[in-house]
Structures are given as structure tokens and as C-alpha cells.
Amino acid sequence: MNLFFRLFGKKQLVAPFDLSNLENDMHSHLIPGIDDGSQSMDETIAMLCKFENLGYKKVITTPHIMNEVYNNTEEIILNGLAEVQLEAKNLGLKIEIQAAAEYYFDEILIEKVKNGSVLSFGDRYVLIEFSFQSPPVFESQLFFEMQMAEYKPVLAHFERYSYYHDSLDKAIELRSKGVNIQVNLNSLTGHYGPKVRKQAERLIDSNLVDFVGSDCHRMQHLLHLEENLSLPYFHALSKLNLKNKNL
């Protein structure tokens, strides 16, 4: 697929993909000062205004929970959410704001799942992040425990794990076990590099994507996304049976 097509001998730009078709974003870092995302309420409100301007109806923000790095708790996240909601309401924003978390798969996550002490979104979906350096060893146990607890796992930005590149076998295997695959929208722009972009395109071509998310940490992510919405693989999203609208 090419960004440009020929019509009567002239090149014309494809119209930008309308993000309102997604309705809801389910992966971002907007609560001020608790992870590597927004660092101030002003920054958070600016990003929420941009989400609204782009056509989103709801943002489910997902701060990191990573042992000894981002030691966030349900209380910290929900208290931060309440402050953001109040500020957004006072400023007249219409976009709905909810929160869950992006859980790093470490030695304590399975116990959190067993204890029911995880933040979910939608129909008991839980966002999970793997290490970028090496594949996990006990992911089958994690996903088994999640399903026993009636949680629905969502693997964050599958296309960014380099150890799964050049193959879709792992995505196919995980989905057969009830794991949802999430792709970052900016992966389609080349923001994370050409190999990540290619893997994201493969997933879309093979209809192996359940959710897409902005993974927004700062305003630049949304501006970069907006600038690239004419790329053809954004339009290909409309052919997928994405679950974003059901949140």
C-alpha cells in the first residue's frame, strides 16, 4: 500500500483516518507525577483537550505499576484520577476519563492477580507489559491465574517486543489462549523504528489485533499521531474487529 495514489495523472493525499471511529483509548499515562508520563496537571489537561479534539469519547489512562520503579497502588492511581476528573470537569471538558494500570510482568504480579488486587477496565480487561529485553518465562502461569480469576489479559504493544519480531506465531498462540493483543497507534508511524512498524503492519494484515492505544506519555505523541493519520495502515484499522468501542 502507498501513501499516495494516482488519479488523472496527479498525486493526491489520502484523507486522514478519523480517530472518532475508535471512540475510546485504553492505554496512556496521564495522571500527573506518578510515572514517566504527564508531570503536571496542566500537561494532563492539555493532552485531554487534544484527545477530545481528535474525536475520542473516553480515555482510560493506565499508569505503570512496576516493582521498585513505579510503586503505584490502586489508591494512588484512583486518587490521582479523581483529581484529574475534577479539574477536567471544572474546565468544561466533555471527554470521559477512567483509569486502570499497565502492569509489568514481574515476580509479584501473579500474587496480585490471585488476591484480586489489580485494576481492570471494561469487561475485566487487565493491561500487561513484558520486558523489552527478554521474553517472559512463566507467562502461561500468569495468564492461567488471570483467567481463573475471571480477568481478561491484554498484552500491551506486542509489536515492540523485538524477540517476537519476524513471526506472528506467538501472537497466534496467545490469542488462542484468550490473551488480547494491543498495538500502539504510533507504531504505524515508524515512531519506534521500522521493525516495530513492520510487525504492527503484519498483525493488522493477519487480523491479530484486539485493541489499539495511543500509549500517550506527552503531547508530542498525540501531535505526531495527528500528523500521520493519512498513512494507509490507519485506514486498515477500520477493517478489524477492534474492542475499543466496547469499553
Residue 228: in which H helix or E strand, if any? none
Residue-level pLDDT at 107: 83
Residue-level pLDDT at 166: 87
Residue-level pLDDT at 174: 97
Assess contact for 158 and 181: CB atoms under 8 A. yes
What's the chain's average pLDDT? Answer: 94
Euclidean distance between CA atoms 197 and 190, whole angstroms = 5
Residue-level pLDDT at 14: 83
pLDDT(2) > 60: no
Ordered by where they begin, the domains of the chain are 21-242 (3.20.20.140)
CB-facing half-sphere around the CA of 125: CA atoms within 13 A: 24
Instruction: Give me the percent of the chain exceeding a pLDDT of 70.
Output: 95
Per-residue pLDDT, averaged over 160-164, amounts to 98
Q: Which one has a higher pLDDT value, 107 or 153?
A: 153
Instruction: Give me the percent of the chain exceeding a pLDDT of 90.
Output: 93
CA separation, residue 194 to residues 61, 168, 186 (Å): 27, 17, 12
Euclidean distance between CA atoms 158 and 180, whole angstroms = 10
pLDDT(215) > 70: yes
Per-residue pLDDT, averaged over 108-112, amounts to 95
63 pLDDT tier (thresholds 50, 70, 90): very high
Euclidean distance between CA atoms 22 and 145, whole angstroms = 30
Residue-level pLDDT at 6: 41
Euclidean distance between CA atoms 34 and 46, whole angstroms = 17
In this prediction the pTM is: 0.93
Instruction: Check residue 232 and report its DSSP letter.
Output: H
pLDDT(3) > 70: no
